[in-house]
C-alpha cells in the first residue's frame, strides 16, 4: 500500500509558502503520495488555523495525525533541524574555496601556471574582494560586529565603514597589478590593524565573538580563520612591495 500524507499550505497570487513546498518535497522523497491542499487567501488560512488550533502553516497530516509544520515534519522523519544553526566556518570555507578555483581558472587560461607568486597573489586578491562584498551588502550590520573587536574602529567608528571599500580596492588592485605603492600600503595597514585586533581579542582577552569577516549577520567565530584574512592581506602587500 502506498503511504499518503495531506498537506495544507498557503498558495495565493501574492505568496507561495516556501515551507509548504519543502514539506511536499520531503514527503515525496520519503515515499509518500501527497494530497496537496492550497489555502488560496488570508481568510482561508485564518479559518484553517482557527479550526485546527495552530498558529502557522503549512500543516501536514499522516494517518489522521497532525504532524505539524516543516520543522516538525523533519523531526518526524528523524532529520536534523533545517538551516544553519550555531557557529560555523562554512561561509569562509566557501569563499576561500571559490577564490582558489577562480585562481586556478584564471591561471589556466592566462599562463597555464598553477604554482607561482602570481598564483598566491591572485588567491589573496580574489579572497579579499569576495570577503569585501559580504561586508558591503550590509554596512551597518558589519560595523556593529566589527567595532566590538577592531581596535581602530572602537575609537573611530567611521573606519568600520571605510574598511570594506579599502579591502575591495586592494584586492582589485592586486588583480589589475597596479603599482605597488598605490595598493600595498592600504592592504598592509588594514591587515596589520586587523591582525593585532583579532589576536588581542581572541588570544589575549579570550573573548568569544562572532567574526565580521563575512558580514555582520554571520555565525563565524572570531579566531584563526579571521586572523588568516588579515595575514593574507599583509602577505599580499609585502609581496607587492618586495617585487
pLDDT digits (tens, 9 = 90+) for 7-53: 999 999 889 999 999 999 999 999 999 999 999 999 999 999 999 99
137 plus 181 within the same structural domain: yes
**Do β-strands 32-39 and 3-10 pair in parallel, antiparallel, or remain unpaired?**
parallel
Domain that holds residue 68: 3-76
- Residue numbers of the chain with a pLDDT score lower than 70: 1-2, 83-87, 113-114, 216
Give the predicted TM-score (pTM) of the model: 0.77
In a domain? residue 107: yes
In a domain? residue 198: yes
Q: Check if the beta carbon of residue 48 is closer than 8 Å to that of residue 57.
A: yes
In a domain? residue 85: no
Question: What pLDDT score does 114 carry?
Answer: 67
How many CA atoms, within 13 angstroms, populate the side-chain half-sphere of residue 173? Answer: 20
Residue 30 sits in a domain whose CATH number is 3.40.30.10
Question: What pLDDT score does 122 carry?
Answer: 92
Give the cell for residue 188.
Answer: 598592509
Question: What pLDDT score does 229 carry?
Answer: 84
59 plus 96 within the same structural domain: no
Alpha carbon distance 121, 175 (integer Å): 8
What does each C-alpha distance from 20 to 55, 57, 198, 205 come to in angstroms? 15, 8, 43, 46
* End position of a domain, from candidates 76, 106, 140: 76
40 DSSP 8-state letter: -
Tell the residue number behind the cell numbers 495531506, with chain if given.
6
Question: What pLDDT score does 227 carry?
Answer: 86
* End position of a domain, from candidates 12, 45, 76: 76
108 plus 53 within the same structural domain: no
Write the CB contacts of 35 (distance below 8 Å, at least 6 apart in sequence). 4, 5, 6, 7
3-state SS of the chain: helix, strand, coil percent to 5?
60, 10, 30
Question: What pLDDT score does 31 carry?
Answer: 93
In a domain? residue 226: yes
Q: What are phi and psi of 40, to 5 degrees?
A: -95, 5
Query: What is the number of domains present in the chain?
Result: 2
Alpha carbon distance 18, 56 (integer Å): 13
Amino acid at each position: 500500500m502506498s503511504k499518503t500524507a495531506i498537506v495544507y499550505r498557503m498558495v495565493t497570487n501574492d505568496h507561495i509558502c516556501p515551507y509548504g513546498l519543502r514539506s511536499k518535497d520531503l514527503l515525496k522523497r520519503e515515499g509518500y503520495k501527497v494530497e496537496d491542499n492550497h489555502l488560496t487567501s488570508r481568510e482561508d488560512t485564518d479559518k484553517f488555523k482557527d479550526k485546527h488550533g495552530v498558529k502557522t502553516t503549512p500543516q501536514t497530516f499522516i494517518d489522521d495525525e497532525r504532524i505539524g509544520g516543516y520543522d516538525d515534519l523533519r523531526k518526524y522523519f528523524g532529520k536534523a533541524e533545517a538551516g544553519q544553526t550555531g557557529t560555523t566556518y562554512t561561509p569562509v570555507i566557501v569563499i576561500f574555496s571559490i577564490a582558489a578555483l577562480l585562481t586556478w581558472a584564471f591561471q589556466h587560461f592566462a599562463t597555464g601556471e598553477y604554482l607561482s607568486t602570481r598564483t598566491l597573489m591572485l588567491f589573496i586578491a580574489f579572497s579579499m574582494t569576495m570577503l569585501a562584498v559580504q561586508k558591503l551588502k550590509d554596512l551597518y550590520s558589519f560595523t556593529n560586529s566589527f567595532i566590538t573587536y577592531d581596535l581602530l574602529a572602537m575609537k573611530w567608528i567611521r573606519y568600520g565603514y571605510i574598511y570594506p571599500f579599502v579591502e575591495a580596492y586592494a584586492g582589485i588592485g592586486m588583480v589589475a597589478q597596479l603599482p605597488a605603492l598605490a595598493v600595498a600600503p592600504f592592504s598592509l595597514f588594514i591587515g596589520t590593524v586587523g591582525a593585532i585586533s583579532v589576536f588581542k581579542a581572541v588570544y589575549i582577552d579570550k573573548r568569544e565573538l562572532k567574526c565580521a569577516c563575512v558580514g555582520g549577520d554571520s555565525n563565524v567565530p572570531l579566531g584563526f580563520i579571521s586572523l588568516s584574512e588579515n595575514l593574507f592581506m599583509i602577505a599580499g602587500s609585502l609581496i607587492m612591495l618586495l617585487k
